[in-house]
Chains A and B, each alone.
Chain A
Amino acid sequence: GAVVSQHPSWVICKSGTSVKIECRSLDFQATTMFWYRQFPKQSLMLMATSNEGSKATYEQGVEKDKFLINHASLTLSTLTVTSAHPEDSSFYICSARDQALAGGTRRSIQYFGAGTRLSVL
C-alpha cells in the first residue's frame, strides 16, 4: 500500500507557542489530504480537508485561525496549531487520498500517517 509519513510523532510545547505538523505522501501524489483529531478511546474526528493550491475546508466547530493548514505541493500538507493551549493536547492524524482508475471507474483510498501526539504544558 501507499506510504504516508507524518512528522513529528510526538511533541511537547509550552502554552502560547505554535507547533507545525507535516504530512507527506511518499510514493504518490495527493491533491487532497485530510487532518483528523482523535481523543482517547474515541474514533477519528475530521478537522479539515486540505486541497493542493487552494484554501482548506474546515469542519463545523473547528477554528481555522487556530489550526492553519497549508497544502503547498502534491506531496506535502502542514497543520500549524497556533498559540497552543492545554486543551489542544491530543492525537492528530493526517491522511492522503490516492486516486486511481480501476475498471474505468475512479477509485480513491485514504492512507494514514502514524499520528502526532501533542502535549501542551
Chain B
Amino acid sequence: EDQVTQSPEALRLQEGESSSLNCSYTVSGLRGLFWYRQDPGKGPEFLFTLYSAGEEKEKERLKATLTKKESFLHITAPKPEDSATYLCAVVWWAGGTSYGKLTFGQGTILTVHP
C-alpha cells in the first residue's frame, strides 16, 4: 500500500504557465512533510518542510501548502530553470521506530518549455 503518492507523474508547461503538483499521503501521525527538488544526476535539494494542516511556505516562484491528506506545490510563472523532478516525502510516527526516516513518493518530472 502506497503511503505517499505524487501526481501527475510528469508535467509539461510553457514558460509562464502556472500549475500545481500534488502529494497525497495515507500515513497517520504525520511528523513532517518535505518537498525536494532533484536535478538529473544530483542529490535532492531541500525546498520546504510543513508540519501542520493549514501551513504554507513560499520561496520565489514556489509555494507549498498542507492539508490533513495532501500537500500541493504551486509553481507560479515557471521558467525553464524550474525543470526538475520534484519529490515529496513524509516523516511519520511508526510505533516509535521511525528514527526520522523519510518515505518518498515517486516524484513528478516537471519540464518547462521556453
Shortest CB-to-CB span from A89 to chain B, Å, is 14
Q: Determine which of A43, A46, A114, A115 lies in contact with B101 in the assembled complex, contact meaning CB atoms within 8 Å.
A: A46
Judge whether A1 is part of the interface by a CB distance below 8 angstroms: yes
Q: How large is the interface on B (under 10, 10 to 19, 20 to 34, 35 or more residues)?
A: 20 to 34
- Docked complex Cα distance between A34 and B89 (Å): 14
Could you count the A-B residue pairs with CB atoms below 8 Å apart for me: how many are there? 55
Specify the chain A residue showing the minimal Cβ separation from B49: A109
Complex interface residues of chain A between 77 and 121 (CB less than 8 A to chain B): 91, 93-95, 97, 107-115, 117
- Docked complex Cα distance between A32 and B106 (Å): 24
Chain B residues positioned under 8 Å from A109 (CB to CB)? 34, 46, 49
Chain A residues positioned under 8 Å from B104 (CB to CB)? 43-44
Shortest CB-to-CB span from B22 to chain A, Å, is 15
Count of chain A residues with Cβ under 8 Å from any Cβ of B?
26
B36-44, B61-69, B71-79 - interface stretch: B36-44
- Docked complex Cα distance between A43 and B109 (Å): 11
Judge whether A60 is part of the interface by a CB distance below 8 angstroms: no
Chain B residues positioned under 8 Å from A113 (CB to CB)? 43
- Docked complex Cα distance between A60 and B51 (Å): 28
Using a CB–CB cutoff of 8 Å, the interface residues on chain A facing chain B are 1, 4, 6, 32, 34, 42-44, 46, 49, 57, 91, 93-95, 97, 107-115, 117
Identify 17 new A-B residue pairs, CB closer than 8 A, beyond the known A1-B46, A49-B99, A115-B43.
A6-B43, A32-B100, A42-B106, A43-B104, A44-B44, A46-B102, A49-B101, A95-B43, A107-B51, A108-B100, A109-B34, A109-B46, A110-B100, A112-B36, A112-B46, A114-B43, A115-B41
